Amino acid sequence: MAAQTMEQLVSLSKRRGFIFPGSAIYGGLQGTYDYGPLGVELKNNLKLAWWRANVWEREDMEGIDASILMNKLTWRYSGHEETFVDPMVDCKGCKMRWRADQIAGKCPSCGSAELTEPRPFNLMFKTQVGPVPDPESFSYLRPETAQGIFLNFKHVLDSTSRKLPFGIAQMGKSFRNEITPRNFIFRVREFEQMEIEFFVKPGEDEAWHQKWVEDRINWWLSVGLSKDNLVPYHQKANELAHYAKATVDLLYRFPHGLEELEGIANRTDYDLGSHSKDQGSLGLKARVAPNSHSTEKLTYFDAETKQHVVPFVIEPSAGVDRGVLAVLSEAYAEEQVKPAPADRLKPVEEALGTFLKSVSRNEKLTADAKNALLAEGERIEGALGERLASITGLLSMPGAEGIEVAKKLRGQVDPVVDEFYRTVLHFKPRLAPIKVAVLPLKKNHPGIVDVAKGIRRRLQSSGSMRVVYDDTGAIGKLYRRQDEIGTPFCVTVDFDTLGDGKDASTKDTVTVRHRDSMAQERVAISELEGYLREKMG
């Protein structure tokens, strides 16, 4: 299981409506993606699972939703104006700009080693606030949600009477002017974060840090990531951000490599200290820049010791989009439903060979599109029997449609895929964009259609699941289409349901077909909702 290449995910996402490139009809805007009809459901389900586990189900957490725009002083005292910079180099040959730490001294675009000296580049998007273009009336789009939590620390404390330890959770958009956005939704310029700032008594921070690392790993496992693909990485002293005493990154094995999904940092009293007035009186452990603007001391009054303390902060900070990518990648599988005989594979193999030859000869394709098509094509050729279903994805990659033999390949591959293969997303049911698809065995039979539509309406109005009605093909094809988007259950209404079958006892029952096992069961309509709800977990 799990995707082998990013192309498999990019192509499925576009084909079925999970994720589209942003502003495509105007040539796109690098580093932006739009979530489609299925993507928005998946993303919302992931966010809801996070909110439930971290806010509703805990007794030590509150939630907030702060503004994206904040007073620009926030970013001065948080350290972002001065330190939120990446060293960047320009290629003297092709003029492309790169992050110095991500290229090994060579321009990835043209290969030239003629690069400028690294220069700092601030990743925050600057924006004007108000109608007058006065040089002082600007702010930044927030590059992280965390600062909204620190600035509201007192508000939440005063309005909820919380005692330490407690946390504040927030989800929302963040913006970073990444120099080289890439790898689909892994590194983008506009993304969402799910962040927690957990406030603890100084001295209790290390134990809480450890506990949060365990909690967060368990949560990612609970939404379907496998242990083998999730690797905690303890940052070394020279890798730590200036505010952090210790940081554990949770790395995930994405199709492009093992990379950060979430960071869990012990930020000491740096943040609350930085945003406080009268810092000299607070006994801060962290070194902070003097603050001459804040109107508050961000402290906590400890009723036992009768002292004001600045809490230490543990910050589990995860990216929603990277989470979606991880969940999608983990769930992805191409499976052979039954072995395809050699005489059915042969014509596909030949058509694929012709297609790839035509791609390599084509002069209209960009170098990137050509390389991507050839790499994916050769990967499939390497084990055609196993990977044949990937050809559907290959044919929807950029540039594929324009190849004149693409139609012929599609004509060869589609019937073989339909009969012997399926692409399936093995989502945990609670993450699946659509929980149940209700399918009529015959789309023109008024009795069957009536019952099927009635079932859809009733299940949908139960409020606990997204249910769709689908009559756009024959049953086998509809099952495959639902597998491909990860729908855990299909409910089929047939003649037996109406009592018109051979066995009278099947009246008022439907077939429930399971995505993962492909097993089918007969369930009474009256018990359907309870049955599905229980299986949904």
Tokens of 221: 């496992």
For the segment 8-47, give every residue that binds ligand ATP (CB under 6 A): none
Residue 237 carries which side chain, given as an amino acid letter?
A
261 binds ligand ATP (CB under 6 A): yes
| Residues in Cβ contact with 277 at an 8 Å cutoff, skipping those fewer than 6 apart | 291, 294, 295, 296, 297
Report which residue's Cβ sits closest to ligand ATP: 319
Considering only 75, 166, 191, 212, the residue that binds ligand ATP (CB under 6 A) is 191
Our CB check for ligand ATP shows the closer of 193 and 506 to be 193
Our CB check for ligand ATP shows the closer of 187 and 253 to be 187
For the segment 288-317, give every residue that binds ligand ATP (CB under 6 A): 317
Considering only 7, 41, 262, 330, the residue that binds ligand ATP (CB under 6 A) is 262
Considering only 62, 321, 330, 483, the residue that binds ligand ATP (CB under 6 A) is 321
∠ CA 471-477-478, nearest 5°, is 40
Query: Strands 246-254 and 257-266: what pairing?
Result: antiparallel
What are residue 469's DSSP bridge partners?
A: 438
Considering only 178, 197, 269, 330, the residue that binds ligand ATP (CB under 6 A) is 178
| Shortest CB 81 distance to ligand ATP, Å | 16
Our CB check for ligand ATP shows the closer of 196 and 365 to be 196
3 state DSSP class of 444? coil
193 binds ligand ATP (CB under 6 A): yes
Our CB check for ligand ATP shows the closer of 33 and 420 to be 33
Tokens of 27: 């040539």
209 binds ligand ATP (CB under 6 A): no
| Residues in Cβ contact with 299 at an 8 Å cutoff, skipping those fewer than 6 apart | 272, 276, 282, 308, 309, 310
How many binding residues for ligand ATP (CB under 6 A)? 16
426 binds ligand ATP (CB under 6 A): no
| Shortest CB 537 distance to ligand ATP, Å | 26
Tokens of 269: 């009293």
513 binds ligand ATP (CB under 6 A): no
Binding mask 134-153 for ligand ATP (x = CB under 6 A): ----------x---------
| Shortest CB 172 distance to ligand ATP, Å | 12
| Shortest CB 258 distance to ligand ATP, Å | 12
| Shortest CB 533 distance to ligand ATP, Å | 32
| Shortest CB 177 distance to ligand ATP, Å | 9
Q: How far apart are the first and last CA of the chain?
A: 22
| Among 183-191, 339-347, 510-518, 519-527, the segment contacting ligand ATP (CB under 6 A) | 183-191
Our CB check for ligand ATP shows the closer of 219 and 489 to be 219
Closest CA to 19 of 251, 230, 229, 191: 191
Our CB check for ligand ATP shows the closer of 208 and 254 to be 254
| Residues in Cβ contact with 367 at an 8 Å cutoff, skipping those fewer than 6 apart | none
Closest CA to 466 of 429, 436, 428: 436
Beta strands in 161-320 (DSSP E): 166-175, 190-200, 230-234, 246-254, 257-266, 300-302, 307-309, 312-319
Q: Over the range 77-108, which residues count as b (16 or more CB within 10 Å of their CB) and which as e?
A: bbbbbeebebebbbbeeeebebbbeebeeebe
Measured in whole angstroms, the distance separating CA 372 from the mean position of its chain's CA atoms is 23
| Shortest CB 233 distance to ligand ATP, Å | 11
| Residues in Cβ contact with 269 at an 8 Å cutoff, skipping those fewer than 6 apart | 202, 282, 284, 285, 286, 310, 311, 312, 313
Our CB check for ligand ATP shows the closer of 83 and 128 to be 83
Considering only 39, 319, 429, 440, the residue that binds ligand ATP (CB under 6 A) is 319
Report yes or no: 170 and 63 within 8 Å, Cβ to Cβ. yes
| Among 48-56, 134-142, 186-194, 338-346, the segment contacting ligand ATP (CB under 6 A) | 186-194
Our CB check for ligand ATP shows the closer of 263 and 488 to be 263
Considering only 149, 318, 431, 452, the residue that binds ligand ATP (CB under 6 A) is 318
263 binds ligand ATP (CB under 6 A): yes
188 binds ligand ATP (CB under 6 A): yes
Our CB check for ligand ATP shows the closer of 329 and 511 to be 329
Our CB check for ligand ATP shows the closer of 143 and 429 to be 143
| Among 22-30, 197-205, 256-264, 466-474, the segment contacting ligand ATP (CB under 6 A) | 256-264
Report yes or no: 319 and 261 within 8 Å, Cβ to Cβ. yes
DSSP 8-class letter at 505: G
User: d(Cα 248, Cα 230) in Å, to the nearest integer?
Assistant: 12
Considering only 176, 216, 275, 515, the residue that binds ligand ATP (CB under 6 A) is 176
485 binds ligand ATP (CB under 6 A): no
Question: Could you write out the three-class secondary structure of 259-304?
Answer: EEEEEEEECCCHHHHHCCCCHHHCCCCCCCCCCCCCCCCCCEEECC
Our CB check for ligand ATP shows the closer of 321 and 494 to be 321
Residues that bind ligand ATP (CB under 6 A): 144, 176, 178, 187-188, 191, 193, 260-263, 317-319, 321-322
